[in-house]
Amino acid sequence: AQSVSQHNHHVILSEAASLELGCNYSYGGTVNLFWYVQYPGQHLQLLLKYFSGDPLVKGIKGFEAEFIKSKFSFNLRKPSVQWSDTAEYFCAVNGGSQGNLIFGKGTKLSVKP
Amino acid sequence: NAGVTQTPKFRVLKTGQSMTLLCAQDMNHEYMYWYRQDPGMGLRLIHYSVGEGTTAKGEVPDGYNVSRLKKQNFLLGLESAAPSQTSVYFCASKTGGYNEQFFGPGTRLTVL
């Protein structure tokens, strides 16, 4: 069965620091990968997605992610975080014949002003 | 477009009571999903539907039932609520294929 691992449970950064959140998945076939963000008290919103092509994917709000097939990874990055990036971030991979998403357990990001 | 909406936003139940959560989408999506979100557990799929009149079990279906009588609506029922069902419930929808899911605002349910 497919699974998604997010290595960091809680990351605390100061504003302007660089961010990298790890995501690894287990699946040997073609994958579609997603990063969602959940701001405090809100629903999940799509940050970016990878289906095929350029493994470096750019999303909203200055986020990007790199798909490294050999490492089964899809890490999320941002060069300089802001206080408004405080949120929980979820990595997800499509799973099953119905295209259901398998989510990681999430990483909470706290940005200190 | 309203996107995905959920009713109610908050609910408190006593053990053994029943209730129905309503999810509605106005994007003409075929697929709809119910998840629960618990601290440190991420999102876990309860049930899903690939079209009107069809439903299927997800990862954690026990204690829940669903119905998709209309394409735009997906109902989640709890027949006899238990404290273990205290959670935040999210509905999502998408088009066919491996596309992104669009999420509703969530329902916070507390079972005492």
Residue A21: which H helix or E strand, with range? strand A19-21
Note whether B101 and B107 are within 8 A (CB): no
B39 torsion bin: left (phi>0), alpha (psi -120 to 50), beta (else): beta
Q: Which residues of A touch B45 (CB under 8 A)?
A: 100-101
- At A85 the pLDDT is 97
The two structure tokens encoding residue A51 = 């289906």
Q: Is it the case that residue B26 has pLDDT exceeding 80?
A: yes
| Stretch A51-65: mean pLDDT | 94
Residue B28 CB neighbours (<10 A): 9
- At A76 the pLDDT is 98
Q: Which residues of A21-40 are buried (b: 16+ CB within 10 A; e: fewer)?
A: bbbbbebeeebbbbbbbbee
Residue B12 has, within 13 A of its CA and on its CB side, a CA count of: 1
pLDDT-above-70 percentage for chain A:
95
Residue A52 binned pLDDT confidence (cut-offs 50, 70, 90): confident
Q: Is it the case that residue A112 has pLDDT exceeding 80?
A: yes
- As a whole number, the mean pLDDT across chain B is 94
**Interface contact A101-B42, CB threshold 8 A:** no
| Stretch B79-89: mean pLDDT | 96
**Interface contact A45-B31, CB threshold 8 A:** no
**DSSP assignments along chain B, one per residue:** ---EEEE-SEEEE-TT--EEEEEEESS--SEEEEEEEETTTEEEEEEEEEETTEEEE-SS-TTEEEE-SSTTEEEEEESS--GGG-EEEEEEEE-SSSPPPEE---EEEEE-
- As a whole number, the mean pLDDT across chain A is 92
- At A98 the pLDDT is 67
For residue B14, give how far its alpha carbon lies from the nearest alpha carbon of chain A (Å): 24
Beta bridge partners of A14: A112
Residue B37 binned pLDDT confidence (cut-offs 50, 70, 90): very high
Q: Which residues of A touch B92 (CB under 8 A)?
A: 44
| Stretch B1-7: mean pLDDT | 90
Q: Is it the case that residue A94 has pLDDT exceeding 90?
A: no
Q: Which residues of B touch A9 (CB under 8 A)?
A: 40
Report how many Cβ contacts below 8 Å link chain A to chain B.
47
Q: Is it the case that residue A5 has pLDDT exceeding 80?
A: yes
